[in-house]
Structures are given as C-alpha cells and as structure tokens.
Amino acid sequence: MAAAAAPVVTSAAISASGKSALFQDSTEGAHQLAGAVVLPRQHGDEGYPASNVRVEILLPAYAPNPRPSKLLFGGLQDPDLQVLRAIPLEVGVEESAVVVSWPEIDEFGSGETLSCALDDFSHTVRELYHHLYADDVRPGADLLRVRKVLGEYIEPRTK
C-alpha cells in the first residue's frame, strides 16, 4: 500500500493564525506577498547594459610568440666538459616539433618543447665533442673545422 504524500509546509508559509497557506484562499496569500521583496520581471526585449570590458582577439599568426627565435646556450651538463662561450642557437618549429640549430657546425636538437630540444642538443654536442676528440678518430677536412669550432666554445674541465 502506497503512503499518501503529505504536503510540505515551511514556516514562512504558516500565517499568524497558525493555519497553513494551503488552507487559506488565494487573495489572502496575495496580500501577504505584497510587502515582500519581489525581483523585477525580466523582459527579453530590454537587453543587457553595455559592458565596459574590452576584448581583443588576436589570430595565432599575429599573436606575440613567447619562444625566442635565437638564444645563447651554456647548459652542456657534462661532468668532463665546460662551456667557454655561450653557443648561439637558432630556434624554429618544424611539423610541431621545436628544433634548435647551431648553423656554424650544422648541428641541431629537436623535441616537443624548447626544453626537450635543448636537452637533445646538449646530448648531441657532448657526443660529437667526445667523438671528434677521441684518439682513434681521423676527421676529414670538414669535421676538423667542426672540431676546431667546438674547441672554441667547449673545453675539458680541469680536475
């Protein structure tokens, strides 16, 4: 057997006589509402007041780029090598990957972000330095030039 749902009566809906508004006629209820704060009616045709907020929309091609196009790099992170002069790098984006390059020796690093690209470049330059300065390697003319340039920027740490 289903229980009958009792009407919910809040304290505000109970009059001074103790009777619930449910048992009073509608005109009496309307008089009670007359003194209450009632929000103004909303009219769809009035519209909203003009905003004082200025919005500027920039297309991506014209938006300022927080990534520099050139930078000086000195974070080689090698316990055996130290940077003598900051390495000048060019920064670009190719196929959504960031590419940093050192045009003087045609070396580069790439990654999803600038930090990843610099980390990749750091590894590459360290390996290139160690390879070209290894005793068992005979570099050709171009790689001798690369080794000379590397030596102008990087040197072994003195223990």
By beta-carbon proximity to other proteins, the closer residue of 13 and 92 is: 92
Of 98, 105, 96, 138, give the one whose Cα is nearest residue 124. 105
Minimum CB distance to other proteins smaller for 29 or for 75: 75
Nearest-approach distance from CB 138 to other proteins, in angstroms: 5
On the 0-12 / 13-18 / 19+ scale of CB atoms within 10 A, 102 is: buried
Q: Verify binding: residue 101, other proteins, rule CB under 8 A.
A: yes
Shortest gap between Cβ of 88 and other proteins (angstroms)? 16
Q: What angle do CA 110, 144, 71 make, to 5 degrees?
A: 35
State which residue, 57 or 141, has the beta carbon closest to other proteins.
141
Minimum separation from the CB atom of position 118 to other proteins (A): 14
Question: 132 burial class (0-12, 13-18, 19+ CB within 10 angstroms)?
Answer: middle
Residues 6+ apart with CB under 8 A from 83: 74, 75, 76, 153, 154
Site string for other proteins, 120-139 (x = CB under 8 A): x--xx--xx--x-----xxx
Residue ranges that bind other proteins, judged by CB under 8 A? 94-97, 99, 101, 106-108, 110, 120, 123-124, 127-128, 131, 137-143
